[in-house]
Amino acid sequence: MIHILAICAAILGFGCLCAAMARHQKELLGRTLPSPVQQRFRTAGSTLLLVALVIDMTGLGTAYGTIAWFGHLTIGAMMTLATLKWKTA
Amino acid sequence: MKESFRQSMAWLHTWTGLMFGWLLFAMFVTGTAAYFQQEISRWMRPELAATADPVSATQAAMTYLRTREPDAESWFITPPSARDPVTEVFWQPKKEEGQPPTRRKRGETSATLDGHGHPVTVRETRGGYFLYRFHFDLHYMPVMWARYLVGAAAMFMLVAIVSGIITHKKIFADFFMLRFGKGQRSWLDAHNVTAVFALPFYLMITYTGLVTLATQYMPWGVMANYASTDTFFEEVFSGRADVPRSGVAAPLVPVSSLMVMASRSWGGAGIGFVKVANPGDSTATITITRAADTVIAARSESMVFAGPTGTLLDRHVPEGGALATQSVMVGLHAGRYAGWGLRWLYFLSGFGGTIMVGSGLVLWTVKRRAKLPDPAHSHFGFRLVERLNVAAIAGLPAGLAAYFLANRLLPIAMDNRAEWEINSLFFIWAGVLLWACLRPQRRAWVESLSFAAALFAAVPIVNALTVSRNMLTGLVTGDWLFVAFDMAMVTVASALAWSAHKAARAKPNATRGTRQKNKELTTA
């Protein structure tokens, strides 16, 4: 359960970070964003990745949770990239 | 020569990566599979089903050993656990006076027992354990040399990772950059994405891998402080030197109460290992070691009891910062502590590493093929890399499938059966290498990948025809191991078939098309 929660937070986090990148906005959102909104996406993305870490550390223990977090980040980035490729396909 | 720092790092990355690339690919494949070595072993011994209670099984194993090897120097017992249904025992036979220690065959000093202490009748196989050992011991060669080779490969890997990070200047800007259908550019994207997404894992796994064998690679610290490496290991890891037998017979206390006591003092953790030194003698000791699945550190705590009385003699907790650091690093590498969720994350990251190494190897040829004066008559070095790429990327998976098939198809009563399963793996692997050398390289890719896909697809079918447990019966009875294994085989087979399809469809001689064909090959 903790794994799924943390993976969701990681996907959302990387999704926001991806949306904050000018070169991917058109593909992911279908439009470009003004720079203050981009900045907000970037902050939200980083925060969500930290939220994933907090979920992992509280749910799985500090050490174990930190290790799992790296794996969850990998899946989060993978799923975001898959969404991006799916949107453009 | 005037070169920028980044250019020289790119050079270093290219050549360190290529040098041991094929060995690293094999290490990644077998190492990744080894995260499920117990599950693979269970699949390869389909006769075994239920897991017995570890405490009573250990007690029963002691009874078995007392009858079979009462005079042994020591007994070693691995109780059954959730991931391993049987009790594994082995013993160090009594040393003959004045005789050099004779080498015994594996079966003569070990046995596999059920929960009642009876030897189980299972097909002879080394199971997933072989893949785990191949990951660092290789095969058909002395273990020490294999470990130096593997260590050199790991060191090159570490250099390749660090120089790769420097070469890849836009890690964040290109984080999600994956363009299909652009030949060399696509290959580079795929290599970068697989490398960056699990980069912390690769750094961790490579560095900690070197640490696992650090005392072999850098023995000087031990040499300067200890009379021999044996004394070092004794002092650091067991804390007790071997005591000669007194010759006074004394029965052992029941081990079950000691196991319960040890488990309670470790907060209910399981028992990983029981060692009995000088069994049946008044000097006997029973060492109980905590199971590795409860803490990250690989060196578990242990408790030493007097054999005849059951008094607690010693608690051995690995001490000191250096030892704790080493222990955690080895633990992180082997992942024995990982539960199901984390185990799959390890597996996925390892799989990513396999693709990273594979795409790097293919990228080397793709980059150079465009610059060849005459692609039809390339020089020897280029052809060699091409052929070895086919042999490694398609050949090893084919061999792995052959290993599983041999487990089901070789006669149960065959002599050296376990060794022949392993020979089958290398036989097929060598066959693919030979094929890759004889065929035009594009055809070699298509045919080898199709062959590997066919072998993987055959595994569930052959399994269903030869044993009574398979995906369908598993779904009915809740035998999830067999469901998952069959599904994994089908998944790998589909990925290989898709790669073969992609390779076949690519247009020959169109510079972009030729390169593009290989893109998905690395999913193999």
pLDDT band at B511 (very low <50, low <70, confident <90, very high): very low
pLDDT tens digits for B258-295? 999 999 999 888 899 999 999 999 999 999 999 988 88
Whole-number pLDDT of residue B241: 66
Site from B172, B176, B328 to mutate, A interface, most A CB atoms within 10 angstroms: B176
Cα–Cα distance between B421 and B404 in angstroms, integer?
A: 8
* Closest chain B C-alpha to A89 CA, distance in angstroms: 10
Cα–Cα distance between B502 and A40 in angstroms, integer?
A: 41
pLDDT tens digits for A11-68? 999 999 999 999 899 888 888 899 999 999 999 999 999 999 999 999 999 999 999 9
- Span B100-122, mean pLDDT? 79
pLDDT tens digits for B228-237? 888 888 777 6
CA B61 to centroid of chain Cα atoms: 27
Neighbours of A77 (CB within 10 A): 23
Q: Which residue of B has its CA nearest to A3?
A: B341
Angle at B358 between CA B352 and CA B364, to 5 degrees: 135
Q: What's the token pair of residue A20? A: 């904050």
Q: Which residue of A has its CA nearest to B190?
A: A81
Instruction: Using the Cα atoms of residue B464, residue B467, residue B472 and residue B474 in order, give the sign of their dihedral.
Output: negative
The type of residue at B231 is T
For residues B271 and B291, the answer to whether their CB atoms sit within 8 Å is yes
Whole-number pLDDT of residue B520: 42
pLDDT of B512 higher than 70: no
Q: Do the Cβ atoms of B175 and A77 come within 8 Å?
A: yes
Q: Which residue of A has its CA nearest to B332?
A: A67
pLDDT of B521 higher than 60: no
Residue A79, C-beta contacts closer than 8 angstroms, at least 6 positions apart: A7, A11, A14
For B299, half-sphere exposure in the C-beta direction (CA atoms, 13 angstrom radius) is 20
Q: In the predicted model, what is the mean pLDDT of chain B?
A: 90
Q: Is A25 part of the contact surface with chain B (CB cutoff 8 Å)?
A: no
* Closest chain B C-alpha to A68 CA, distance in angstroms: 6
Cα–Cα distance between A77 and A52 in angstroms, integer?
A: 13
Q: Across the interface, which of B176, B180, B196 has its CB nearest the CB of A18?
A: B176
SS3 assignment, position B499: helix
User: Could you tell me the strand order of the sheet in which B302-306 lies?
Assistant: B110-113, B87-92, B74-78, B271-277, B285-290, B302-306, B312-316
Q: Do the Cβ atoms of A75 and B345 come within 8 Å?
A: yes
DSSP per-residue codes, B397-438: HHHHHHHHHHHHHS-TT-TTHHHHHHHHHHHHHHHHHHHHHH
pLDDT tens digits for B317-366? 877 888 889 999 999 999 999 999 999 999 999 999 999 999 999 999 99
Whole-number pLDDT of residue B52: 81
Cα–Cα distance between A26 and A42 in angstroms, integer?
A: 16
Q: Which residue of B has its CA nearest to A84?
A: B176
Cα–Cα separations (whole angstroms), residue B463 to B45, B481, B492: 12, 13, 16
Whole-number pLDDT of residue B516: 42
* Closest chain A C-alpha to B161 CA, distance in angstroms: 17
Domain locations in chain B as residue ranges: 54-122+238-331, 372-524
Q: Across the interface, which of A63, A70, A75 has its CB nearest the CB of B296?
A: A63
Q: Do the Cβ atoms of A71 and B201 come within 8 Å?
A: yes
Using the structure block, give the residue that is written with the tokens 């249904």. B85
Q: Do the Cβ atoms of B176 and A70 come within 8 Å?
A: no
* Closest chain B C-alpha to A46 CA, distance in angstroms: 13
* Closest chain A C-alpha to B265 CA, distance in angstroms: 21
